[in-house]
Chains A and B, each alone.
Chain A
Amino acid sequence: MGKPGKNDFDTIIEENYPRLHRSVSAYLAGSSVEPDDILQETFLKAWKNISGFQGGSGIYTWLYSIARNLCIDEFRKRKHEKNISNKPVEEFELAWDQFSGEDNREEILLLRKAISQLPELLRTIVVLKSIDGLTYPEIEEITGVNQQTLKNRMFRARKELADILKNMGVDQS
């Protein structure tokens, strides 16, 4: 697809909503911000500003940048809601979850909780790289951070994740 216009928007929503919802859900896990609200605002904002989309970056990374900025704005508005780590693991369950067993469910929810405890800068990279499967150049487009720094942050994120899981008593052997 070349540079899309407003007429292409139906297809853009159809193709990107589920993937974006999954990523934003992972990014917002544990917070009280609703992914559905963020995505609704994201697509409306994207529709209004589609003429400003340069077409050089992918439409998905452009949409993700809008969604991430909206999330950060929301976090700023809700500064008082800091302690997301105390939420019980059950609250990390999603509407479309299908677990194969109780052990599997428990482990997945603990992993989600561990990811949610990472600082925003590190969580963004983990979600984009390990969950969404974006490349470092694509993550650079979204965050504006160069690839060397991103890899360095990825090291810190994984190190911190390993520590969190160890403290939670999750067996990593």
Chain B
Amino acid sequence: MKRTELEIRITDASDGILAPEELRQLEADLQAFPDLMADYHAIMKLPDIEPVYPKPNNAVFAARIAEIRNQISENEELSTNSPVFYELSLVWFKRYALAASLMVVALTSVFSLLQPGPEYLDSTVMMDELFYPAEESAADVYVTYLDEFTLD
């Protein structure tokens, strides 16, 4: 028999739901597990802890209960007097704020992943051609242009 099964049966025993025959069987099974047998004896000796917290008299809490009732009444008034504000602030906002923020994040990610537009590509190609010209004539123009400025 597994230890965990024995532990569960020890719990049943301490809950008082095992019949005398089952209790005897449990003790016999525990012979093979001396450490569990020691735990079993220690657990069965535990005092009843139910009376450790006495059941309080309802009158003790009369003031507290009244206070909670007052708070609920105030909330009730708030929700009936200004249903629009209440709906908007407590219901609508809570329901849709997360969805809206997730949508903003998603849209931002989508835009950042988009390819650059044709204007950007054109200007990049023009600059590249200026510095690393594909045609000879274009390089001449560039060199002439530089010469004009340095000679002055």
Q: Using CB atoms, name the residue of chain B closest to A15.
A: B58
Which residues of A sit under 8 angstroms from B57, Cβ to Cβ?
18, 96
**Across the A-B interface, how many residue pairs have beta carbons closer than 8 Å?**
116
Q: Using CB atoms, name the residue of chain B closest to A150.
A: B11
Q: Please report the total number of B residues contacting A with Cβ < 8 Å.
A: 37
Q: Tell me the bound Cα distance from A158 to B88 in angstroms.
A: 49
Contact B10 A36 (CB under 8 A): no
Q: Chain A interface residue count: which class? A: 35 or more
Which residues of A sit under 8 angstroms from B48, Cβ to Cβ?
130
CB distance from B79 to the nearest CB of A (A): 9
Contact A111 B64 (CB under 8 A): no
Give chain B interface residues in 23-80, CB to chain A under 8 Å: 39, 42-43, 45-58, 60-61, 64-65, 67-69, 71-72, 75-76
A residues bordering B, Cβ < 8 Å?
A: 6, 9-10, 13-14, 17-19, 21-23, 25-26, 36, 39-40, 43-44, 47-48, 94-98, 107-108, 111-112, 115, 126, 129-131, 133, 148, 151-152, 154-156, 158-159, 161-163, 165-166, 172-173
B residues bordering A, Cβ < 8 Å?
A: 4, 7-8, 10-12, 14-15, 39, 42-43, 45-58, 60-61, 64-65, 67-69, 71-72, 75-76, 90
